[in-house]
């Protein structure tokens, strides 16, 4: 079954840790879901921070990405309902080093995640408007698999000189993937996180980011806000904790910006020619 409304697959990626990648995935997904768009979150980071951040305890997670890569279940069978309407989750169920080693080995088949997501989009009766993938803080095979599967990449950027330099490496990788495995991959936007307008470092970071990434920068910036940290401790999206806080307002604005940019979303995700081309590329790698 092919839905008449195409699905946008977005990877949240940055090889540098601590840039707010998982926080962005949680709060952006919840904000988009508040617009009554059906959203699926996929926790591809073996640390499982996204799963925990959505309020799921280890004992509640019986199936997840490990089973998806193992081939035991399809996406529908391992999807959990979240406490936000229109928002579902495929959790991370990596609970020991052996499982993580096995997952990383299975992820060497970089087309596997794309195959599973295509099965969900093309053959399932369940339709999602957005699929958002939280990736590990490295450019390993799991991240590569997410970039093979995605239509676009959202790059959270922490204020600071060294964080700016790391993104350039990711951009070069994205360009290489576009020329081979996934020609449909685009950059959704670069989002400035932990922004402090009143500090010299924040002003310099924003100016440097604008200079380096130009039109790729999102209009919305995410401020450094205590309410975001508090929501993380509560294991809830910020819109469920303090919807009037500057952090919540910024994530809602980012969601609005992304929704507006994708109003004329094409059906390239359903392009089977591109899919088969990526399979051939991966087999030659």
Task: Report pLDDT digits (tens) over 257-273.
Answer: 999 999 865 434 444 34
Is 1 a domain residue? no
Q: Which 3 state secondary structure label does DSSP give 144?
A: helix
Q: Please give the mean pLDDT across all residues of the chain.
A: 89
Give this prediction's pTM.
0.90
Q: What is the model's pLDDT at position 163?
A: 67
CB atoms within 10 A of CB 161: 10
Is 25 a domain residue? yes
Is 258 a domain residue? yes
Phi, psi of 156 (to 5 degrees): -75, 135
Residue closest to 254 by CA, chosen among 209, 218, 214, 200: 218
Distance between CA atoms of 148 and 143, rounded to whole angstroms? 9
Total domain count for the chain? 1
Least confident of 78-82, 99-103, 121-125, 153-157: 121-125
125: domain range?
Answer: 8-284
Residues 6 or more apart in contact with residue 21 via CB below 8 angstroms = 12, 13, 14, 134, 135, 137, 156
Distance between CA atoms of 76 and 79, rounded to whole angstroms? 5
Is 2 a domain residue? no
Q: What is the model's pLDDT at position 277?
A: 45
Sign of CA dihedral 103, 105, 176, 209: positive
Q: What is the model's pLDDT at position 274?
A: 44
Is 271 a domain residue? yes
Is 82's pLDDT higher than 70? yes
Is 146 a domain residue? yes
Distance between CA atoms of 211 and 152, rounded to whole angstroms? 22
Q: In the chain, how many H helices and how many E strands?
A: 11, 7
CATH of the domain at 207: 3.40.50.300
The label of the residue with tokens 């200079």 reads 211
As a 3-state breakdown, the chain gives helix, strand, coil percent values, each rounded to 5, of 50, 15, 35
Residue closest to 167 by CA, chosen among 108, 209, 109: 209
Is 88 a domain residue? yes
Q: Which 3 state secondary structure label does DSSP give 266?
A: coil
Q: What is the model's pLDDT at position 265?
A: 56
In Å, how far are 27, 135, 252, 254 from 220, measured between CA atoms? 14, 22, 10, 6
In Å, how far are 37, 103, 125, 129 from 226, measured between CA atoms? 28, 35, 40, 31
The answer to whether 153 and 159 have CB atoms below 8 angstroms apart is no
Task: Report pLDDT digits (tens) over 160-199.
Answer: 666 667 888 899 999 999 999 999 999 999 999 988 887 8
């Amino acid at each position: 079954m092919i839905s008449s409304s195409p699905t946008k697959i977005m990877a949240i990626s940055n090889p540098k840790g601590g840039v707010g990648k998982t926080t962005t995935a949680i709060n952006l997904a919840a904000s988009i879901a508040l617009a009554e768009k059906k959203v699926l979150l996929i926790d591809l980071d073996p640390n499982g921070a996204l799963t925990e951040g959505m309020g799921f305890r280890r004992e509640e997670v019986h199936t997840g990405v490990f089973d998806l890569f193992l081939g035991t279940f399809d996406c529908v069978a391992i999807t959990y309902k979240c406490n936000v309407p229109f928002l579902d989750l495929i959790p991370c169920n990596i609970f020991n080093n052996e499982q993580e080693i096995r997952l990383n080995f299975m992820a060497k088949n970089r087309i596997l995640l794309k195959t599973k997501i295509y099965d969900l989009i093309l053959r399932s009766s369940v339709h999602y408007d957005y699929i958002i993938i939280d990736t590990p803080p490295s450019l390993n095979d799991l991240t590569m698999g997410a970039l093979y599967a995605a239509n676009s990449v959202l790059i959270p950027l922490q204020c600071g000189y060294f964080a700016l330099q790391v993104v350039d490496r990711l951009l070069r990788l994205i360009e290489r993937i576009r020329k081979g495995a996934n020609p449909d991959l685009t950059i959704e936007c670069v989002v400035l996180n932990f922004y402090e307008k009143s500090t010299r470092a924040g002003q310099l970071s924003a100016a440097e980011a604008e200079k380096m990434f130009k039109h790729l920068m999102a209009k919305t910036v995410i401020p450094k806000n205590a309410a975001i940290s508090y929501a993380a401790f509560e294991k809830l999206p910020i819109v469920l904790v303090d919807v009037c806080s500057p952090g919540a307002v910024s994530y809602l604005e980012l969601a609005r910006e992304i929704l507006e940019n994708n109003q004329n979303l094409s059906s390239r995700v359903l392009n089977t020619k591109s899919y088969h081309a990526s399979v051939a590329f991966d087999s030659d790698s």
